[in-house]
Amino acid sequence: MKYAVTGANGYIGRHIVKELLDCGQEVIAIDIRFDDIDERADKVIFSIFEETDHVFEQLGQPDVCIHMAWRNGFVHNDLSHMEDLPKHIQFIKDMVEGGLKQIVVMGSMHEVGYWEGAIDENTPTNPQSLYGIAKNALRQAIDSIIKTDDLCVQWLRGFYILGDDLKNHSIFTKLIEAYNAGKTNFPFTTGKNKYDFITVDELAKQIACTAMQTEVQGIINCCSGNPVSLADRVEQFIRENNLDIKLEYGAFPDRPYDSPGIWGDPSKINAIMSNESNALQ
């Protein structure tokens, strides 16, 4: 099977590329630059935001496209999310019209908005940020104007990701940067919100395993299914990395659009991973 990965040079993308290659798949890494991509991948410099003809052919006519490309994912109210939305729609539409049979797209828990408890594919969406609004709209657009009977669509919702922390912009990155700068205190929220944490390596494995099968489709939570308070996970991170730094609880207010507790129902991803494990035995 031939897999095209857009945003391959991104924080998550490079891990997906490696995971697919380790599974013996042929991978076309697509991005506008390459800093740390596995050398086994075929690299194609290509911007999905530029109008061009015969996109599917230019990208090697892959069997599967894993669409990870997204600008400013850590800046939730950046206007680029709305500005780029029609370009994402056009790219996927061009790929499908060219002959693509399976599309895997990275979504987000932020599509759901304010929600308390576990979320599954039937949870209503009411996004509270431009990032969540754009992701949700892209999912709806695929269902409304792109999806055909013979197209496998897998929409993967990500949750709170950590690992390889110097290559993202999460609170874990900021903690390491603060420690390296010699700071001994770190301004923090109350830390009471509970989230579903997953390492980027485990996330990449879940995404790759999802893409390598077509039985489970639709909205799929890439998650642990285990809610942990932000304070507990950050304190654990500090201990694991031997950081001599203390959290200043309450220095920042909690974001009004963040839920007190939100995590994924892992039923579908557990079924995928179980089938993958059985296939390897």
Residues with active-site annotation: 131
In Å, the largest CA–CA distance within the chain is 57
Helix pair angle (130-141, 80-98), 10° resolution: 20
Residues 193 and 254: beta-carbon distance below 8 Å: yes
Q: What number of other Cβ atoms are within 10 A of residue 195's Cβ?
A: 22
The SS3 assignment for 248 reads: strand
The C-alpha atoms of residue 201 and residue 163 are separated, in whole angstroms, by 7
Q: What are the Cα distances from residue 37, in Å, to 29, 41, 65?
A: 8, 8, 17
Spatial CB neighbours of 125, under 8 Å, sequence gap ≥ 6: 111, 112, 113, 136
What are residue 43's phi and psi, to 5 degrees? -100, 130
